[in-house]
Structure 1
Amino acid sequence: MLEFQCWFCGEGIERSDGDALMIGIESLWRWAEGTRRKDAPYQNIYVHSRCAMDRMAGATMDLETSVFGEEE
């Protein structure tokens, strides 16, 4: 059985959270300039859908609700 832990709250993420997120993190500039190597550092983090909605609001933009399967 796969087990994932939420980056924000530290609790396990259950399959019942159908809109939970996997977020990939890598260097913006290597990605934008197309200079990524196959062995370039990369990490995935996992987040409850509610934690993402509550904690990932930016100063100038929010996550699009369609990411969570909700209508805008």
Structure 2
Amino acid sequence: MTDGGYACWFCDRPIERTDPGAVLVHVRGFWAWYDGSNADDDPAQDVYAHSACAKNRLK
């Protein structure tokens, strides 16, 4: 994050509200989720990306 805002996971530049397609990606362990054994304290992380960066990098 940058100065109270959000930075892109890929390019590290600030994400502006003028990018309506910007995304939040929530990452957590698949198997804990899949078998239902996940708990509130399981590790997880949110990352953010510009719409163009997500489109180009998440293929």
User: Shared fold (TM-score greater than 0.5)?
Assistant: yes
Point out 4+ residue stretches in structure 1 off by more than 6 angstroms.
Answer: none
**Quick one: distance in 1 between partners of 2:56 and 2:35?**
32
Would you say 1:50 and 2:52 are equivalent positions? yes
Report % sequence identity.
Answer: 37
Aligned residues: 57
**Unmatched runs of 5 consecutive residues or more in structure 2:** none
Write 1 or 2 for the structure with the bigger share of strand. Answer: 2
Alignment match of 2:43 (pick from 23, 26, 41): 41
Alpha-carbon distance, 1:22 to partner = 0.3
Which residues of structure 1 form unaligned runs of 5+? 58-72
Q: How does 1:1-72 map to 2 (within 5 A)?
A: 2-57=4-59
Give the distance between the partners of 1:33 and 1:2, measured in 2 at CA. 36
Residues 1:16 and 1:47: Cα distance change in structure 2 (over 3 Å): same
Q: Pairwise CA RMSD of aligned residues?
A: 1.2
Query: Whole-Å Cα distance in 2 between the matches of residues 21 and 2 of structure 1?
Result: 17
Distance 1:23 1:42 in 2: 11
1:53 shift after superposition:
0.4
